[in-house]
Amino acid sequence: MTIHSAEYTGSYPSELTCPKDNRREFAFIGRSNVGKSSLINLITGRRDLALTSGKPGKTQTINFFLINKDWYLVDLPGYGYARTSQTNRRKWEIMIQGYLSRRANLVCTFVLLDSNIPPQNIDIEFINWLGEKGLPFVIVYTKTDRLTDAQREQNITRLREALLEHWNVLPQEFVTSAAKHLGGGAILDFIESIPEEV
């Protein structure tokens, strides 16, 4: 898939206020500071479509980007650490779960995992929640440029093993690096391969 246009269309506090058209939606989510904005910019070929920040918790709403005037890329708030109140974190959790579990136009969720760190319970719990709800998702390993090939494979193997303690089979996986422009094309090819009627 070639990206001809990518435009920010709005930020929404709940799934009820999201766009009312019937375009398909593909959501991106991960722990705070997992490299989500950098990945979105890589996928769309835009340097600053999604604002990157060294401060976790920057995304606080459901952000929609219209791609090729055909489908939406949806940037969800990160879960986990963020310098905000417990009340705000709970509000984000309700917003994220409401969107993921009730949004009819959502086709697939891309769950981002940091390949530089050991498996995190919060990631495992979130992925298990998606499974319990029967929600389709794939896994995206980020920041792989910071590791040697051997280190990357070792870390990804650990992440897989942690997930396989709960799953019999894992979904499709993508290995990415925004710094090395790796993996964006594969994600777009995957999106393009999904029939439009889904």
Q: In a structure prediction context, what are the per-residue pLDDT tens digits for the chain, which is 198 residues long? A: 889 999 999 999 989 999 999 999 999 999 888 999 999 999 999 877 876 444 444 567 899 999 999 999 999 988 865 555 666 667 778 889 999 999 999 999 999 999 988 888 999 999 999 999 999 999 999 999 988 889 889 989 999 999 999 999 999 999 999 999 999 999 999 999 998 765
Q: Model-level pTM greater than 0.75?
A: yes
pLDDT at 32: 81
Domain assignment of residue 161, yes or no? yes
Domain assignment of residue 1, yes or no? no
H/E run at residue 173: strand 173-175
CA-based nearest residue to 39, from 127, 140, 138: 140
Domain assignment of residue 115, yes or no? yes
Domain assignment of residue 150, yes or no? yes
Domain assignment of residue 198, yes or no? no
Residues contacting residue 187 through CB under 8 Å, at least 6 positions apart: 43, 110, 140, 174, 176
pLDDT at 71: 96
Domain with 181 in it: 6-193
pLDDT at 55: 44
pLDDT at 81: 56
CA distance 100 to 139: 16
Q: Which residue has the tokens 């136009």?
A: 105
pLDDT at 68: 95
Domain assignment of residue 104, yes or no? yes
